């Protein structure tokens, strides 16, 4: 196994056993602000797998998102439904997509490349977001990531992997005819 495989395996074992390192990391993360810029990624193997490089122009941010379905509006017209239809409603957007958008709003000059899960407890989930500065010379001269300069606001348009999953376009071919260009556009066309 390569070095990154060992790192990934260690992180998985820490979470599975809920060992002391994992608990201490959670305690420290709970005290941090919602969006925190980091010097280096917590899980280097995951960060490298989604495009992170240890060079100028790359930024890693840790974002905390509240778990659960969130507050729903209580109906106040007409008859009263028995249970109000307020609890156990699933949002149309994943927690990971919400975390990416929070990071984008905090760092407006950067562009979200991708993200990965870090930790969770009963109340929160944490994700690490890999971001790129499109105007930095080292990014502009790197052909593998220079394309981000032409894709401004990609996180809001569902272009990251979490966004693509939420839009239902991770698959291609038979059975996916009604998912492109988007589910709602297909509904509008009446197909």
Residue 27 has what pLDDT? 95
Looking at the DSSP assignment, which residues form a beta bridge with residue 59? 131
Q: Which residues contact 102 (CB under 8 A, 6 or more apart)?
A: 34, 35, 63, 65
Q: Specify whether the CB–CB gap between 59 and 131 falls below 8 A.
A: yes
Query: Is 90 exceeded by the pLDDT of residue 182?
Result: no
CA dist 15 and 19 (Å) reads: 7
pLDDT single digits (tens) 123-172: 999 999 999 999 999 999 999 999 988 889 999 999 999 999 988 888 88
Please report which confidence band the pLDDT of residue 115 belongs to, taking 50, 70 and 90 as the band edges.
very high
Q: Specify whether the CB–CB gap between 90 and 164 falls below 8 A.
A: no
Q: How far is CA 89 from the centre of its chain?
A: 20
Rounded to 5, what percent of the chain is helix, strand, coil?
A: 35, 15, 50
Residue appearing with tokens 């379905």 = 69
CB atoms within 10 A of CB 175: 8
pLDDT single digits (tens) 87-96: 778 888 899 9
Minimum mean pLDDT among 59-63, 97-101, 148-152: which range? 148-152
Please report which confidence band the pLDDT of residue 82 belongs to, taking 50, 70 and 90 as the band edges.
confident
Looking at the chain, which runs of residues are DSSP E strands? 35-38, 58-66, 111-120, 124-132
Residue 190 has what pLDDT? 59
Question: What strands lie across the sheet with 35-38, from one edge to the other?
Answer: 35-38, 58-66, 124-132, 111-120
Q: How much of the chain exceeds pLDDT 70, in percent?
A: 96
Check residue 16 and give left, alpha or beta (phi > 0: left; psi -120 to 50: alpha): alpha
Q: Which domains does the chain have, with CATH numbers?
A: 3-74+83-152 (3.40.1120.10)
Residue 153 has what pLDDT? 92
Residue 189 has what pLDDT? 67
């Amino acid at each position: 196994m390569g070095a990154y495989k060992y790192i990934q395996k260690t992180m998985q074992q820490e979470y599975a056993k809920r060992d002391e390192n994992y608990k201490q990391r959670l305690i420290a993360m709970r005290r941090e602000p919602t969006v925190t810029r980091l010097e280096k990624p917590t899980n280097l193997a995951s960060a490298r797998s989604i495009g992170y490089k240890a060079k100028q122009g790359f930024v890693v941010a840790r974002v905390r998102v509240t778990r659960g379905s969130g507050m729903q509006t209580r109906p106040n017209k007409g008859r009263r439904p028995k249970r109000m239809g307020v609890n156990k409603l699933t949002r149309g957007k994943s927690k990971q997509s919400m975390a990416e958008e929070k990071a984008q709003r905090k760092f407006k000059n950067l562009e979200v490349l991708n993200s990965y899960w870090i930790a969770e407890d009963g109340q929160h989930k944490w994700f690490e977001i890999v971001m790129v500065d499109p105007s930095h010379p080292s990014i502009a001269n790197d052909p593998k990531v220079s394309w981000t300069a032409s894709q401004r606001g990609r996180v809001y348009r569902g272009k990251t992997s979490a966004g693509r999953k939420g839009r239902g376009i991770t698959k291609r071919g038979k059975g996916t005819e009604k998912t492109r260009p988007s589910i709602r556009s297909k509904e509008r066309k009446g197909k």
